[in-house]
Chain A
Amino acid sequence: MRVLVLDGNPDADDKSYGAILSTFVQKLIFEGKPVEVVTLHQKNIKQCVGCWTCWVNMPGKCMLKDDVEGILMKIVESDLVIFASPIILGFMSSLLKRFTDRMIPLVLPYFQVLEGEIHHVPRYENRPLLAAVVVAEEETDREDHEIIFDIYTRNALNLSTKLSMYKVFDRNGEELASR
């Protein structure tokens, strides 16, 4: 089980988030899983501009030159990809979202029906499971938990995979929700 953690924390000074994530990662390592953490704020990640180059010009490749391709290469070799972020204004960080927007080279432009809805067809055979791990902000409530869970469940559907784990921690590292 090769695990890739995408750490979308934009703020290196956020100590309580950092401690919670590293405890979580230590636990995975203790279970004997090879874990790699990508710290997104140390990477150069440009915003996708919706040009479709990765679908119709250079299939599977993005025309933007930055650190994203290297991260996508790790994703296609993983069994589980964990999206980790502090909750900021009710959702994952804009940093993590900017990275997520760049994941469309992983699918083909072609369509399929999944659960009665239109979705894209995966480009790669290996489709890692997804997970989301978030650390609450003060005002986070159940509705926020559910919105994030539901959107990540849909992200998994869009990538023809499953959301295998969802955890919300409070700022003391207590689990507020877990699925």
Chain B
Amino acid sequence: MRIFALNGSPRGKFSNTRVMIDELIKGIADRTGTTARIHDLILEEDVKELAMSTEQHELLLIGFPLYVDSMPGIVKEFFESMGALRRFPESKQIVFLIHSGFSEAIHSRFVERYCRKLASRMGFGCPGVIIKGGSEGVRFLSSETREQLLPMLRELGEHLAATGELRQDMLKELAAPERFEGEVLEMVRASIGDGTSHPYWDQLLRNNDAFEQRFARPLLG
């Protein structure tokens, strides 16, 4: 099985997307012994040519971070280039991995609908869409999310290679929470404060000597 893997993160090599796609590929390799190279979209010189090259592959793995409720601009550009290849005879499978800064899967569900529609437009089979919220820490080696997440992605990859399917129970577990409700929502509400401070961002602001400017409005004339 020839696999085309795309890292659609504008951050390129040091991105959460890359770590996650890499783990799926490792899982596939555990089963099949064949590995795949990951294309970092932001570093590619010719998006059209890259999109053309998907033609030689049977499985497309397309990963991207949620950017303003949908795919990053460069990923849309890649899709547009792929559009030109529509309905060629060979059958293909496409798997999307969409992840977001916010913890709830609900943020990614809308662009998921777009991706499924795209698959059917292209005449591709789509075993599923992997959704993961709260992904911002995955690229850091010591992160907790990373330790829990990576073994699951690897298993998902292995199972995909073995059966051609994504395990629905694992997709559900990865996507949880779908949204915050009831008591949990109240806890979340309490933990995010009044919208004028947050430990994570405040620390970064302080490290950069920018804390005093945190509410700056430089665009006002």
Q: Report which A residues bind B (CB closer than 8 A).
A: 47-52, 55-61, 69, 72-73, 76-77, 88-95, 97-101, 103-105, 108-113, 116-119, 121, 123-124, 139, 143-144, 147, 150-151, 154-155, 158
Q: Does any Cβ of A come within 8 Å of B141's Cβ? A: no
Interface residues of B in 58-95 (CB under 8 A from A): 65, 67-74, 76-77, 79-80, 83
Interface of A is mostly: mixed
Q: B182-202: which have CB < 8 Å to A?
A: 185, 188-189, 192-193, 195-198, 201
Interface 0/1 of B179-221, CB less than 8 Å to A: 1110001001100110111100100110110100111111111
Instruction: Judge if B113 is at the interface, Cβ distance under 8 Å.
Output: yes
Q: Is the CB of A76 within 8 A of B220?
A: yes
Residue of B nearest to A57 (CB): B208
Q: Say which size band chain B's interface belongs to.
A: 35 or more
Partner of B73, one of A60, A61, A77, A101: A101
Q: Which listed segment binds A: B20-28, B30-38, B101-109, B144-152?
A: B101-109
* Interface residue B117 (Cβ < 8 Å from any Cβ of A): yes
**Closest B residue, CB atoms, query A70:** B219
Contact residues in A for B195 (Cβ distance below 8 Å):
108, 110-112, 121
The CA-CA distance from A144 to B185 in the complex, in Å, is: 32
Contact in complex: B201, A56 (CB < 8 Å):
yes
* B residues at A contact (CB < 8 Å): 9-12, 15, 42, 65, 67-74, 76-77, 79-80, 83, 102-104, 106-107, 110-111, 113-114, 117-118, 121, 179-181, 185, 188-189, 192-193, 195-198, 201, 204-205, 207-208, 210, 213-221
A-B contact pairs, 22 of them (CB 8 A): A49-B42, A50-B9, A55-B201, A55-B204, A57-B210, A59-B205, A60-B217, A73-B219, A89-B121, A94-B76, A94-B80, A97-B67, A100-B68, A101-B72, A105-B219, A113-B188, A116-B185, A117-B107, A117-B179, A139-B121, A143-B117, A151-B110
A109 touches B201 (CB 8 A): yes
Q: Which residue of A lies closest to B41 (CB)?
A: A47
Contact between B185 and A113 (Cβ–Cβ < 8 Å)?
A: yes
A123/B73 contact (C-beta < 8 A), A77-B221, A116-B180, A116-B185 known: no
